Chains A and B, each alone.
Chain A
Amino acid sequence: MSPYELVTHLRSLPDEWLMYLLRQVFEQRGEERYFMAVSSRERDPVSGQWSGRTDYTAVAHPDPEHYDDPLDVDWGLVQHGSCAGCQVSLASSRKHVRCPLCGEPAYLT
C-alpha cells in the first residue's frame, strides 16, 4: 500500500478509531514512546488574532478493565480531566481511562 493510500484510508477513520489504531501501532512497534495529544488555542473572532496561551491535552485510552468494547461510542474526544499520577490534562471518548504517559487510571467527565 502506498503512503498516499495509507493517508487516504487513515483520514477516513473517525477520531476514536484512529486513536485505537495508532495505540495498537505504538504498542506493537515499541520504538519511540509516542502518544497522541490535542492542542487548543483561542483567537479573537473579529481580528482573527491568536490570544492567550496554547493548552495541551494528552489523548487517554479507554480502560480495558471497564469496557469490553472500547469502541462502542462515536461521540469523539468529549470526556476531559487530568491524571492524578503525572498531572497531565487528558481527553478521551470514554470516562474510565488510562493515562498514556504513566499508565495510571483516571476518571474523566
Chain B
Amino acid sequence: MSEETPEGEPALRELRDAVSRATVDRLLPHLLALPDDRLRDVLAEVLAGRFPYGHSARGEARLFLAVPGPAPKRKAPAWRHRAVARVLGERKKRGRLAFEGRCAVCETLLCADAPLVVCPVCGGSETRLGRL
C-alpha cells in the first residue's frame, strides 16, 4: 500500500512549517545575543553551502550577506553594495567593517573587519582588502 495520499503533501508541509517556526523562535534570541563579528562568522558558515536555485553545470547562484553601498547613480544603476566577506586570520578592527576592496577573481565589492578574506560569491578565492 502506498504511503502517499492526497493529504500527505499538505500534512508534510504543515509539519515542516511547524518545525521551521519552532526553530526560528528558538534561534532568534541566540542570534540577537551574538556580538556582531560572531554573527557574521556564523552566517558566513551557513551561507557558504547555500545554493538557492540548486546546482547546474551552466551556472551558480549563492546567497550572501551584504551592506548597502553608496546611493545608485541615476544613469548607471549598477550594483554598488558590498558583500560581507569571510574573514581569514586575525581581525584588525573587531566589529567594524573597516576594510574594503574587490575580489581578485569576480570583482565583487567586499568589506570585512580584517584584511585577509574569502569572497562569498566565488566561494574560494583569498583576497586582501585595504583599510577605508
Chain A interface (Cβ < 8 Å from any Cβ of B): 1, 3, 6-7, 9-15, 17-18, 20-22, 24-25, 28-29, 31-43, 45, 50, 54, 56, 58-59, 71, 74, 76-77, 86-89, 101
Contacts and interface: CB of A to CB of B under 8 A. Distances in A.
Interface in B64-88: 64-68, 71-72, 77, 79, 81, 83-84
Interface residues of B, number: 50
B42 interface: yes
B121 A39 contact: yes
B108 interface: yes
**Chain B interface SS verdict (over half):** mixed
Interface of B: 13, 16-17, 20-21, 23-24, 26-28, 30-32, 36, 38-39, 41-43, 45-46, 49-50, 52-53, 57-68, 71-72, 77, 79, 81, 83-84, 97, 106-108, 120-121
